[in-house]
Amino acid sequence: MKPHVIILDDDTEIPTDALLCGTGWKSSYPFFSQELVQLLGLPYPLQKNEIEPWTTLLDIADSRVLSNFPQLADPPRHLKREIPTTTAKLYKGMAPLKDHTIIFLGHIDISNSFRAAEAQSIWATSYLDGSLVLPPLEQLEEEVAYMNAFSKRRYPSRGQKGDCIFFELIWYTDDLLNDVGLKSHRKGWWSDWLDPCLAADFMDIKDEYRRKFGF
């Protein structure tokens, strides 16, 4: 034991002032003002008779979802429910559209949170250090609206507040790492087809990222 040091399994020592053990969270931000919550695209309660500001975009996106996946048009009736809040408007489930100085990790509902967290961390690093080039705002809004609409149709009991992608884990992590120019499938073609997809698949990806961007 050493004070102010974390010692890993391989005896690597990491100087540390504090260790925060986060065992859970709530998807609300009471320390943000209502105006800031709306600016950042976070869910907020709708007042009586208030219309979701993204209604038109979401309706267009919903039509695209049903065109692509007509089987989602009629979900089980017991799963249909509405909640009196907006949906999260975060690009890739993380990034606000109007403020590029902050990012929200873990805001999505997904099946393997650990693998997603590894991919999100790499994407977020590239996003915040300016290495990632984003599409135009109009395209960002269309992609966010589409994922909102898809989640609500695909997971009617879980996708109401934003992106819920339990069965799209591989697509999601592939998409994030492709944005950064890194490979998501890293174990070899046979293992990538047959072995489970784990967070450990990305254990060396930070070093590849640092070599790619000269850190």
Tokens 């009586």 label which residue? 48
Tell the residue number behind the tokens 């950042």, with chain if given.
40
Q: pTM of the prediction?
A: 0.83
Closest CA to 176 of 150, 152, 149, 147: 147
Which segment, 1-10, 63-72, 162-171, is predicted with the most confidence on average? Answer: 63-72
Task: Please give the Cα distance from 139 to 128 (Å, whole number).
Answer: 20
DSSP H or E stretch at residue 38? helix 34-40
The tokens for 129 are: 């250090």
Residue 79: predicted pLDDT: 66
Range scoring the smallest mean pLDDT among 29-33, 38-42, 91-95: 29-33
Q: What's the pLDDT tens digit per position in 115-133?
A: 999 999 999 999 999 889 8
Read off the amino acid at residue 93: G
1 has pLDDT over 90: no
Mean predicted confidence (pLDDT) in 67-84:
81
Indicate the SS3 state at residue 5.
Answer: strand
Mean pLDDT across the chain, nearest whole number? 87
User: Could you tell me the residue ranges of all domains in the chain?
Assistant: 51-213
The 10s digit of each residue's pLDDT in 132-168 is 989 999 999 999 999 999 998 998 877 777 888 889 9
Return phi, psi of residue 214, to 5°: 75, 30
